[in-house]
Amino acid sequence: MTKLAKLLDKINDVNDIKQLKNIELKKLAEEIRNFIIETISQTGGHLASNLGVVELTLALHKVFDSPKDKIIWDVGHQSYVHKIITGRKREFHTIRQFKGLSGFPKRKESVHDIFETGHSSTSISAGLGYAISRDIKGEDYNVICVIGDGAMTAGMAFEAMNHAGHLRTRLIVILNDNEMSISQNVGGLSLYLNKIRTAPTYFKMKEDVENILNSIPAIGKKVYKTAERAKDSLKYFLLPGMIFEELGFKYLGPVDGHNISSLINVLKRARNVDGPVLIHVITKKGKGYKPAEEDPDKFHSASPFEIETGKFKKKLNKPKYSEVLGETLVELAKKDKRIVAITAAMPSGTGLDKFKTELKERFFDVGIAEQHGVTLAAGLAESGMKPFFAVYSTFLQRGYDQVLHDVCIQQLPVVFAIDRAGLVGSDGETHHGVFDYSYLSHIPNITIMAPKDLLEFKEMIKFAVDFDKPLAIRYPRGYCSDLSEITSSYKIEHGKGEILINGKEIAIIAVGKMVQYGYEVVKCLRKDNISATLVNARFVKPLDRELISSLTKKHNIIITMEENAKIGGFGSLVNSILLELNYNGKVLNIGVPDTFIEHGNVEELYDLCNMSVEKIVDSIKSIYKEG
């Protein structure tokens, strides 16, 4: 910790915050920013969003009494300041590291982490649940939901607000408005909030009138109540819509999210409102660190970087899967005007930023609204377009019903480009994409593919353009593999795998990223004079039944390798075929076990799941020795 952090040195619990004066909190905010920048420059992590909520977090803990009062962080990646001042300062250097602090709220870490979050737009629903429980039990505490303007684009947030407005129970929603989710926000709500940010005339006038009238002796309050009854005409005249008040919330704001005194005052005011209230707080993502202020997208989830320059420390000169998707789609779309690209608030993360720039009329960012994104793609496909929906595996889970109902039942040629599949590392349980084979493979009419390397990925994208049914291409985070040395042909034939290495006794059927691991396993086995066949499945659905049948006739042991949950995954699909074929050899399924996998770097997590090359080799040797 920096030697200059004199105030921060004294902060060991939230009660220490309550003893500080506003001017001291301002100084503490500066120290915390420096502390976060220093730490994240070494560990990596969510930098920009946390720098933006320093004053807001301090004000929350100054006014409210956590954990009695329930503070729920939407998404949760902006909870670093909260962690630092709730007793985890000395462990903060372990953030997102294996066996260290989670990058998201985690109940097992602290009583101050009220509800675990990782996906967006859940906080208001969870908070309303707390509020209803409080009312039923006759308890007395505040519930505060901190949600970003990006998360407010999701329908779930409005469903919860609609319900809260109907119930009229006490609930405080803080809208942290930094004009961004991960990338720049889009849509009608963003435009609406921009009007409020840039022209808060009504709210300033309303506050002034309220203060003046209430200060008149004897008659002031009566006059103000009369004015209140006539306020509708004024508010609609000055700010059409008033969407939050129409939903039943008292609106307070906009408030400068970096002014401690203003934040404390508005939070105290909200605490006394008998009913749901929304506080509109304006913050700057990356506040206090110029590189993050200028490029908050890049510093949303940053790898280790140099503080002075803002440059990342490690960058390999190899293409990433997301970059390959973007570049290949642009190339194809310039020749085929049917191709359109869709993302859910992640044009940069999914590699579609180039498509957005060069073909903006055929690029659609739906915001954090995966359900809408899927069905939008269905409508486009039915109308003769060729939609590619680029989405992280963990986030496509949110659109499951739409995939099944709106795309697959109608057999519409939507392409799901499923990014961040498999174990993604330091974001942990909520972000690992290890369930997509399981939740997609049982849906009729869908084809599922997974590339082993860069060239195969390109061929799969090209194959997808003219494929006339629902199709998912599933690929990992990070840099592309290159297995061209053992590949005779990259031609894609529907439902057909390929044999990369011919061996005896053992057949390894791998899919996606695990083909590279399978190759390393085969080389290790050779050293012990164990001959193994290596198969690249290419397709998870439909499986190459003919190829699997041929393997059963020549091999006594069949191994499947995947980066998905074993239950309902690729291995279980292969097992079904082996049962039908009455295969009497031994079978070993390598995959993610039936548990939620914690955070850590990918190599550590592979080892934890017995999926590292070394542990796979050991497992195969064990079953081989059994005879």
Where in the sequence numbering do the catalytic residues fall? 285, 370, 398
Phi, psi of 503 (to 5 degrees): -145, -165
Using CA atoms, how far apart are residues 29 and 35, in angstroms rounded to an integer?
10
Of 556, 586, 590, 555, the residue nearest 572 (C-alpha): 590
Using CA atoms, how far apart are residues 29 and 283, in angstroms rounded to an integer?
14
Q: Which residues pair with 386 in a beta bridge?
A: 339
Distances (CA, A) of 195 to 179, 295, 514: 12, 23, 50
Q: Which residues, 6 or more positions from 156, have their beta carbon under 8 angstroms from its beta carbon?
A: 121, 122, 125
DSSP-assigned letters across all residues of 487-551 = -S-----TT--EEEE--SEEEEEE-TTHHHHHHHHHHHHHHTT--EEEEE--EEES--HHHHHHH
Of 231, 243, 71, the residue nearest 162 (C-alpha): 243
DSSP H helical segments within 4-45, as ranges? Answer: 6-9, 14-18, 22-43
Using CA atoms, how far apart are residues 401 and 393, in angstroms rounded to an integer?
15
Using CA atoms, how far apart are residues 89 and 38, in angstroms rounded to an integer?
13
The secondary structure of 296-308, three-state, reads CCCCCCECCECCC
Using CA atoms, how far apart are residues 113 and 102, in angstroms rounded to an integer?
11
Using the 8-state DSSP alphabet, how is residue 249 labeled? P
Q: How far is CA 384 from the centre of its chain?
A: 31
Coil, helix or strand at residue 626? coil
Q: Which amino acid would we find at residue 516?
A: Q
Report the alpha-carbon angle 40-45-50, nearest 5: 85
Using CA atoms, how far apart are residues 191 and 117, in angstroms rounded to an integer?
27
Q: Among all chains, which residue has been given the structure tokens 């309902």?
A: 568
Coil, helix or strand at residue 139? coil
Coil, helix or strand at residue 180? strand
Using CA atoms, how far apart are residues 147 and 20, in angstroms rounded to an integer?
26
Q: Which residues pair with 501 in a beta bridge?
A: 534
Using CA atoms, how far apart are residues 624 and 627, in angstroms rounded to an integer?
6
- Say if residue 240 is preceded by a cis peptide, omega within 30 of 0: no
Q: How far is CA 251 from the centre of its chain?
A: 28
Confirm if 346 and 392 have CB atoms less than 8 A apart: yes
Q: Among all chains, which residue has been given the structure tokens 């294996």?
A: 98
Of 174, 176, 170, 147, the residue nearest 276 (C-alpha): 170
Beta-carbon-side half-sphere exposure of residue 600 (alpha carbons within 13 Å): 14
Using CA atoms, how far apart are residues 575 and 569, in angstroms rounded to an integer?
10
Which tokens in the block code for residue 179? 């004009």
The secondary structure of 376-407, three-state, reads HHHHHHHCCCEEEEEEEHHHHHHHHHHHHHHH
